[in-house]
Amino acid sequence: MPRPFLSDALPRNVRCAHSIIANLRAFANPNRYSSALHTAPPPPLPQNGTAHPHPHPRISTVNDEEIAHFSRLSKLWWDERGEFTLLHKMNPHRMRFIREKVLEVLREDDRNDDAVALRMRDSNRLLNGLDVLDVGCGGGILSESLARLGANTLAIDASAENIHIASQHAAADPGLSSLSFRHTSAETLLQEESKKRFDIVCSMEVVEHVNNPAAFLRSCAELVKPGGHLFLSTIARTPLSYLLTIVAAEKVFRLVEPGTHTFSKFINPDELIGFFTKPLNEGGRPWISRTYAYGLPTRVEAEVRGIVYVPWRGDWVLAPRATTPLSTQANYLFWIRRPKENV
């Protein structure tokens, strides 16, 4: 019998302590991951020197280890009391944020459009006729909710097992005929569908699981129509998020599978905001033109909202706007609008 590694021979609580100490080293260099987000090299120009038709990196952002991890758990997606309980509880609050921002922009635009007026009157069909993309859809929890608001929804995931489970679950509901699934990644979809763009692109709890997050964000952004919406949710890289997400949720209470999150891959709100204050491609314009108090942008361009889990309620709370940035020290939602052309 082969000898166990020293770490395997230690009691579990001792191994846990070693793991905590190792992860805390990330605090010593808090900008380690942000530099990867902000300084990823732009895509090379073609040999003839002309601008690239797709201004985003031609590399895969799929992390095979992350995909294998979630593929192993794929059969648990629709167990609302199992591994993905927290996501099921979070979903209504994610949808509330999406509805609020879409309605806010409709009012801001104040267009004399019958279709827009109808969506504003009937919030249950708010996304009626809009093309929506859910990137990293997992088991389809968010995708189904988007389709029920009337959206023509395409849900994609890099895990074939996830797509199988999501498709199987959605097929049982005849009211989800506007929902379709594909086993692919954002960058692959962008290369295949050179002209297809979406009114809304969502990618929830995904960016902290990919390789090269800058390339991933560029791909997601490029898939948004001018004037359209990009919705993200992720986790800030703070001592509080480490204690809540790694120590409490994974190691102590086992609410999620240990190893689901990597602390050094978490992204702070100011890093996302900073990413979009710079042009995403050569000759482009920033999506955020300027920031104000606490480094936050104007709400017509982008918004950050904290989403906080309250254990004694067993539910999440979408934090009030007035609590930003205090409430964004762990989980948060992020919305940004792609600038309109010729404006």
E strands, the chain, are 131-135, 152-157, 179-183, 198-204, 224-235, 302-310, 315-318, 331-337
259-to-32, 71, 153 alpha-carbon distances in Å: 20, 14, 31
Is the bond into 325 cis (omega within 30 degrees of 0)? Answer: yes
Report the C-alpha gap between 259 and 296 in whole angstroms: 32
Report the C-alpha gap between 280 and 292 in whole angstroms: 21
Known binding residue 100? Answer is no
Q: Look up the pTM and report it.
A: 0.85
pLDDT at 57: 42
pLDDT at 121: 67
pLDDT at 43: 47
pLDDT at 331: 98
Q: Tell me the CATH number for domain 7-38+59-337.
A: 3.40.50.150
pLDDT at 19: 53
Report the C-alpha gap between 12 and 163 in whole angstroms: 35
**DSSP at 210:** S
- Mean pLDDT taken over the chain: 85
The structural domains of the chain, with segments of one domain joined by +, span 7-38+59-337
pLDDT at 167: 98
Residues 6+ apart with CB under 8 A from 131: 151, 152, 154, 197, 198, 199, 200, 225
**DSSP at 204:** E
pLDDT at 116: 65
Known binding residue 204? Answer is yes
Residues 6+ apart with CB under 8 A from 231: 94, 97, 98, 101, 200, 201, 202, 203, 204, 333, 334, 335
**Averaged over 306-312, what is the pLDDT?**
95
pLDDT at 202: 98
pLDDT tens-digit readout, 117-132: 666 667 778 999 999 9
Looking at per-residue confidence, does 18 or 196 come out higher?
196
Report the C-alpha gap between 290 and 292 in whole angstroms: 7
Report the C-alpha gap between 243 and 256 in whole angstroms: 14
Known binding residue 205? Answer is yes
pLDDT tens-digit readout, 213-228: 999 999 999 999 999 9
Please determine, for residue 212, whether its predicted confidence score (pLDDT) is greater than 50: yes
pLDDT tens-digit readout, 53-88: 444 445 789 999 999 999 999 999 999 999 999 999
**In the chain, what percentage of residues exceed pLDDT 90?**
71
pLDDT tens-digit readout, 105-158: 988 886 666 666 666 667 778 999 999 999 999 999 999 999 999 999 999 999
**In the chain, what percentage of residues exceed pLDDT 70?**
78
Known binding residue 161? Answer is no
